[in-house]
Amino acid sequence: MIKSGTPFFPTTLPIGTIGDLLAGCTAMLQSEGVVDAQREAREIVAAVLDVPKFWAAANAVADATPQVARSVIRAAMKRAGGMPLAYAVGRASFRHLTLNVDERVLIPRVETEVLVDRVLERCTPKTRTIADIGTGSGAIALSLAFEGEFDRVLATDVSLDAVNVAAANAASLSEGLKSPVEFRSGSLLAPLRGEKLDAIVCNPPYISFAEITELPADVRDWEPSLALLCAQGGLSVTRELVAQAPDGLVRGGFLALEVDTVRAGTVAEMIAVDGRYSEIEVLLDLTGRERFVFALRV
């Protein structure tokens, strides 16, 4: 018996081909009120098969093996039940990488892809050791290691679960990485005490506890609150990192932060007041919103 509220996949529907599988998944997602169900069905099939998103529609007559059908149906049922798509399929694309993700880590966002761009633009041959603070799935650290050549990429997270996810992603991507990556568990820069860093990058939690009801349900109810929310109006983690970073950065090294548009100016002012930074910049995301703050260690 299907429990009330549990998405039901019609067992009488043929699933011999990819097209049949797409049609069944689309119908189930639509019945549960998922917006743009057809697109999400294609993305589920593509993620399970590890192929481009357009592949399923272009290969509708291809056979779907029972194993593929089971995996696709299982993911579609999770998505129909409200689970974010990335968690339902267990994978998320980030820049040139495909990362394994689950409810232990934040789902990587396109805004953070832009942060990596801005960091790589500022790296020089003298940027040899770079740290990713609050690494989560390892998206930033692994992208830097994949696209840039550094002596070391160091990554920390206060969540041991997140460190385990990131380390597993590093292991699966190891053959393509240009730089060695090391993961350490602990709060902010504490695990890197004594290290001399040429750059520090961080996408900290910046949503205040008062704003939790404003978050979309698939974020609020599924993604780890430790990676989303923090005290002092969403600024406590950022404030602590701004205070700690000069002790770890070499002179001329840079701090790169992802923030939200509401707090970008406040974070820039916070850095300026510290007195140990110069050349403070507020940069825009792809939609023209203030999203990133960069500063040099004097």
For all residues of the chain together, what is the average pLDDT?
A: 92
Determine the average pLDDT of the residues in 44-61: 88
The long-range contacts involving 8-16, CB below 8 angstroms and separated by at least 24 positions, are: 9/73, 9/76, 9/77, 15/64, 15/69, 15/73, 16/63, 16/64
Distance (Å) of CA 248 to CA 19, 110, 145, 190, 207: 55, 28, 20, 10, 26
What confidence score (pLDDT) does residue 52 get? 85
How far is residue 30's CA from residue 23's CA, in Å, rounded to a whole number?
10
What confidence score (pLDDT) does residue 63 get? 87
Query: Rg for the chain (alpha carbons), in Å?
Result: 21
What confidence score (pLDDT) does residue 15 get? 55
User: How confident is the model over 58-110, as pLDDT tens digits?
Assistant: 888 988 888 899 999 999 999 998 999 999 999 999 999 999 999 999 999 99
Q: DSSP code of 115?
A: H
What confidence score (pLDDT) does residue 8 get? 47
How far is residue 104's CA from residue 87's CA, in Å, rounded to a whole number?
10
C-alpha angle with apex 204: 112 to 168, nearest 5 degrees? 70
| Diameter over CA atoms, the chain | 69
Complete domains list, the chain, with CATH: 18-89 (1.10.8), 92-297 (3.40.50.150)
Which residue in 165, 158, 155 sits closest to 186, CA to CA? 158
Q: Is the pLDDT of residue 12 over 80?
A: no
What would the DSSP string read from start to end of 213-280? Answer: GGS-HHHHTTS-HHHHEEHHHHTHHHHHHHHHHHHHEEEEEEEEEE--TTTHHHHHHHHHHHSSEEEE
User: How confident is the model over 166-178, as pLDDT tens digits?
Assistant: 999 999 999 999 9
How far is residue 5's CA from residue 243's CA, in Å, rounded to a whole number?
48
What confidence score (pLDDT) does residue 99 get? 96
Q: Is the pLDDT of residue 6 over 80?
A: no
3-state secondary structure of 163: helix
**Which tokens sit at 107?**
């789902």
Determine the average pLDDT of the residues in 230-243: 96
Burial of 275: CB neighbours in 10 Å, binned 0-12, 13-18, 19+: exposed
